[in-house]
């Protein structure tokens, strides 16, 4: 969000991948150019910038822990499940077994590159779900945001010529929440910050003396089979990102 590079090499390392001797900007770095109103609101409401940054960094660490554990499961490594993320991982394992998701290790954390559009990225997994073969992108957020469609559309374009049976893409959101036994409100604790969502269907929820359940995994999956319009938006974001980083991109020889 707040980038500062000391030289061209630090920019290249933070912003992309070198593949076959050529450097390409990373998909997630490109889409970061899009404004994120919820994140800006969080920073505005925080006690100060340092406190907000600490929550953001701790939250990212927790998300990475979930991601790495699930990656180990997909690779068949039977990883040790950290207690702090066990509810989220259990929810994933139940979903994975129930839906008979099929993944091969060489298609997990797969590096992809679009030579035509000059970008690269890392796909969480290519999976077979319900008889369809597609991109599976795993998020540890509290919701499935539309921004994710930009990222996955870029993966679809980079992969479609290599995998002619590629049909679709899914966003799988994995989180952890507690639910109030009295009113149905939910509490999410991430990065050391508690966030309570009121159950507006219950008129007493706002004033409830909450009685929280144990922490449970919260999982949601959505399929987005139509990606062409999202990819046009991604290319627009890429153009803007290139404009914003013109100095560094010229310095490293990309522009």
Bridge partner residues of 26 (DSSP): 120
Residue 224 tokens read as 């987005």
Q: Please check whether residue 228 lies inside any domain of the structure.
A: yes
Alpha carbon separation from 190 to 31, 136, 220 (Å, rounded): 23, 23, 18
The CATH number of the domain holding residue 31 is 3.90.320
Among 8-17, 71-80, 233-242, the minimum mean pLDDT is found in 71-80
Q: Please check whether residue 152 lies inside any domain of the structure.
A: yes
Q: Which range of residues forms the domain containing residue 102?
A: 8-175+216-250
Ranked by mean pLDDT, the top range of 50-54, 79-83, 166-170, 201-205 is: 166-170
Q: Give the C-alpha separation, 95 to 130, whole Å.
A: 13
pLDDT at site 1: 43
Overall average pLDDT of the 113-140 stretch: 96
pLDDT tens per residue across span 188-246: 998 888 889 888 887 677 788 999 999 999 999 999 999 999 999 999 999 999 999 99
Residue showing tokens 């899009």: 34
Q: Please check whether residue 193 lies inside any domain of the structure.
A: no
Q: Please check whether residue 192 lies inside any domain of the structure.
A: no
pLDDT tens per residue across span 130-183: 999 999 999 999 899 999 999 999 999 999 999 999 999 999 999 999 999 999
Comparing 52 with 135, the larger pLDDT belongs to: 135
Q: Please check whether residue 134 lies inside any domain of the structure.
A: yes
Residues 6+ apart with CB under 8 A from 156: 135, 166, 169, 227, 231
Report how many domains make up the chain: 1
pLDDT at site 45: 81
pLDDT of residue 103 exceeding 70: yes
Q: Please check whether residue 65 lies inside any domain of the structure.
A: yes
pLDDT at site 175: 95
Q: Give the C-alpha separation, 54 to 45, whole Å.
A: 14
Q: Please check whether residue 200 lies inside any domain of the structure.
A: no
Helix (H, G, I), strand (E, B) or coil at 134: strand
Q: Please check whether residue 48 lies inside any domain of the structure.
A: yes
Q: Give the C-alpha separation, 92 to 147, whole Å.
A: 22
């Amino acid at each position: 969000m707040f980038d500062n590079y000391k030289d061209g090499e630090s920019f290249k390392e933070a912003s992309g991948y070198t593949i076959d001797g050529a450097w390409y900007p990373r998909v997630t770095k490109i889409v970061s150019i899009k404004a994120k109103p919820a994140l800006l609101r969080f920073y505005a409401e925080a006690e100060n910038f340092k406190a907000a940054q600490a929550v953001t960094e701790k939250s990212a660490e927790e998300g990475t822990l979930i991601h790495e554990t699930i990656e180990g499961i997909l690779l068949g490594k039977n990883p040790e499940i950290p207690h702090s993320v066990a509810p989220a991982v259990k929810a994933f394992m139940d979903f994975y077994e129930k839906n008979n998701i099929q993944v091969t290790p060489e298609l997990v954390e797969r590096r992809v590159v679009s030579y035509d559009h000059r970008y690269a990225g890392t796909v969480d997994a290519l999976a077979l779900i319900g008889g369809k073969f597609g991109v599976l992108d795993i998020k540890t957020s509290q919701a499935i945001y539309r921004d994710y469609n930009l990222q996955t559309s870029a993966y679809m374009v980079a992969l479609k010529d290599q995998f002619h049976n590629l049909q679709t893409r899914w966003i799988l959101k994995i989180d952890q929440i507690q639910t109030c036994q009295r009113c149905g409100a939910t509490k999410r604790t991430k990065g050391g910050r508690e966030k309570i969502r009121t159950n507006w269907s219950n008129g007493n929820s706002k004033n409830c003396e909450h009685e929280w359940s144990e922490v449970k995994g919260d999982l949601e999956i959505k399929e987005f089979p139509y990606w062409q319009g999202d990819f046009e938006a991604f290319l627009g974001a890429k153009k803007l990102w290139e404009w914003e980083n013109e100095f560094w991109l010229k310095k490293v020889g990309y522009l």
